[in-house]
Amino acid sequence: MVVITLQRNKCIGCNYCVELAPGQFQMSKKDGKSVLLHAQEKKGFFTLKSPDETIYDVAVEAKKACPVKIIAVKQM
Ligand code: SF4
């Protein structure tokens, strides 16, 4: 299981995560912030739990690239 978390309100809309992990992140046309696809929201944190282990590496690349460090990735 791969767990990705996004603290969305701090996103500065740089687009790096979308470029590196387009299967997981998309830019919102409404507010210019990243959207973690298929995520559940709780108190401003968006979490995606996926059984697809193949997304781990690209998610970690997105996490490393994020300039404001609001992406977390865990493997469980
Ligand atoms: S890399 Fe970080 S700051 Fe940039 S769009 Fe993605 S979540 Fe937002």
Can you list the domains of the chain with their CATH numbers?
A: 2-75 (3.30.70.20)
Q: Which pair of tokens denotes residue 74?
A: 């865990």
- Identify the sign of the CA torsion 18, 11, 64, 35: negative
CA separation for the pair 61, 66 (Å, rounded): 9
pLDDT at 49: 98
Paired tokens of 66: 């994020």
At residue 70, the pLDDT reads 98
pLDDT at 68: 98
> Which residue owns the Cα nearest ligand 1 atom 7?
11
Which residue, 10, 12, 15, is CA-closest to 46? 10
Mean pLDDT value across the chain: 98
Query: Dmax over Cα atoms in the chain, in whole Å?
Result: 33
Could you read off the pLDDT of 27-64 as tens digits, one per residue? Answer: 999 999 999 999 999 999 999 999 999 999 999 999 99
pTM for the full model? 0.96
Indicate the helix (H) or strand (E) that contains 54.
none
Q: Does the beta carbon of 20 sit less than 6 angstroms from any atom of ligand 1?
A: no
The number of the ligand 1 atom at minimal distance from the alpha carbon of 8 is 7
- CA-closest residue to ligand 1 atom 2: 66
- The predicted structure's pLDDT at residue 40: 98
Whether the CB of 58 sits within 6 Å of ligand 1: no
